[in-house]
Amino acid sequence: MVKAVVLGAAGGIGQPLALLLKSSPLIDELGLYDIVNTPGVAADLSHIATPAKVEGYLPPDDGLAKTLKGADIVVIPAGVPRKPGMTRDDLFKINAGIVRDLATGIATAVPKAFVLVISNPVNSTVPIVAEVFKKHGVFDPKRLFGVTTLDVVRASTFVAEKLGDLSLSSKVVVPVVGGHSGVTIVPLLSQSSHPLPASISEDDYKTLVHRVQFGGDEVVKAKDGAGSATLSMAYAGAEFSFKVLRALKGEKGIVAPSYVSLEADSAGAALLTKELGQELAYFSSNVELGQEGVVKINPLGKITEAEQKLIAAALPELAKNIATGVGFGTEAR
Ligand code: NAI
């Protein structure tokens, strides 16, 4: 029996994510929690003819603990999204507190659950969850993931577009490493399963990289004040959740980029640190998943000079974001 929980389940991401999870045969129970509307969302989803039993709770009467009871995997898209002109870091003030409180609930109710953080800024909210878990003495770095899959999904789509064949987009695999905001997002296009045309100009390459890094801004702008990516994020969040669940059920060899604590795999971390030339507590790299969570953090491997420059530009920003999250989380301790 597998139970999945969505915290922030009535939101723009939460609802379609809950729909995709409810559609999956991998899940037997689906718990939905939000500060508004979850009973309605749960009642609606419960009529879909798939096996998962759905329940939705609000904060009163220990709603969070009731939702979390028995959870194997907890996905967190709770919090406010960006409006035009905002960066993900602008969200920190509000979302940091929301994530801290939800993490406290998880650490108390289901400390062994896999925790998948979508709430932005992911570069900082993941360290907050880790600090809260440390405070409760239950931190297992192998079970905490920052969801960067939307960057990976965007890279696949944009590369397929560049190759002039959108039907390739679900097959194109591009590792996206670093973090999840602006310049910290580093697509390793040289490692794409479907190489870019050798004739691609430097300008076209830079435009493509920029589009992966700032693709979220296209959506924020087009939504014109009504929020950020929700549907593509729900798709990406479900895709990553399914990988974690398949690994939990014993499938071997599943690898996906995710923003994780480097404490999850000290040997992998040592290799990565050597490649980066700098120690960081968190980084998104290709991660091999297993029944206990992170099995292995893969090194970057062979990258181009242009990609090395992107990494160099990402590191200071990422280090700053991590320090902000750790600082907030430590205060919370
Ligand atoms: P939204 O505003 O539509 O939904 C957020 C939901 O969280 C709302 O239903 C709200 O009631 C709920 N919420 C607020 N405080 C809560 C609490 N204390 N406990 C439980 N639920 C609570 O926002 P949207 O568009 O769904 O975005 C959610 C988050 O996901 C934002 O932080 C956004 O920046 C982030 N995001 C992350 C992406 C990624 O790639 N990791 C991509 C896109 C968005």
Sequence-ordered list of residues with C-beta below 8 angstroms from that of 275, at least 6 positions apart, any chain? 299, 300
324, 93 Cβ separation under 8 angstroms: no
At residue 183 the predicted structure's pLDDT band, cuts being 50, 70 and 90, is very high
The response to whether residue 229 sits with its C-beta less than 6 Å from ligand 1 reads yes
Q: Whose CA is nearest to atom 33 of ligand 1?
A: 81
pLDDT tens sequence across 229-259: 999 999 999 999 999 999 999 999 999 999 9
DSSP three-state, residue 22: helix
Given this model, what pLDDT does residue 228 score? 92
Given this model, what pLDDT does residue 89 score? 82
Given this model, what pLDDT does residue 99 score? 98
The response to whether residue 63 sits with its C-beta less than 6 Å from ligand 1 reads no
Q: Give percent of the chain above pLDDT 70.
A: 99
The response to whether residue 219 sits with its C-beta less than 6 Å from ligand 1 reads no
- ipTM of predicted assembly, 2 dp: 0.99
Given this model, what pLDDT does residue 174 score? 97
Q: How far apart are CA 234 and CA 228, in angstroms?
A: 12
Given this model, what pLDDT does residue 16 score? 98
Using the atom order of ligand 1, give the atom closest to the CA of residue 78: 7
Run of H or E residues at 232: helix 231-248
Cα-only R_g, the chain: 19
At residue 25 the predicted structure's pLDDT band, cuts being 50, 70 and 90, is very high
Given this model, what pLDDT does residue 332 score? 60
Q: Residue 23's closest CA among 290, 242, 208?
A: 242
Token couple for 191: 């490692």
Q: Whose CA is nearest to atom 20 of ligand 1?
A: 34
pLDDT tens sequence across 69-94: 999 999 999 999 888 888 888 899 89
Q: Between 332 and 216, name the one with better pLDDT.
A: 216
8 assigned ligand-binding residue:
yes
Using the atom order of ligand 1, give the atom closest to the CA of residue 149: 40
User: Catalytic amino acids?
Assistant: 180
Given this model, what pLDDT does residue 225 score? 85
**pLDDT exceeds cutoff 70 at 54:** yes
Unique residue bearing structure tokens 């059920």: 249
State the first-to-last Cα distance of the chain, in angstroms, to the nearest integer: 34
Q: Between 292 and 87, name the one with better pLDDT.
A: 292
Task: Tell how far the Cα of 15 is from the centroid of ligand 1, in angstroms.
Answer: 10
The response to whether residue 56 sits with its C-beta less than 6 Å from ligand 1 reads no
**pLDDT exceeds cutoff 80 at 185:** yes
**pLDDT exceeds cutoff 80 at 304:** yes
Whole-number average pLDDT of the chain: 96
Given this model, what pLDDT does residue 55 score? 98
120 assigned ligand-binding residue:
yes
At residue 333 the predicted structure's pLDDT band, cuts being 50, 70 and 90, is low
Pocket test for ligand 1, best of 7, 66, 80 (most atoms within 8 A of CB): 80
The response to whether residue 150 sits with its C-beta less than 6 Å from ligand 1 reads yes
Q: How far apart are CA 195 and CA 185, in angstroms?
A: 19
Given this model, what pLDDT does residue 331 score? 83
Given this model, what pLDDT does residue 86 score? 84
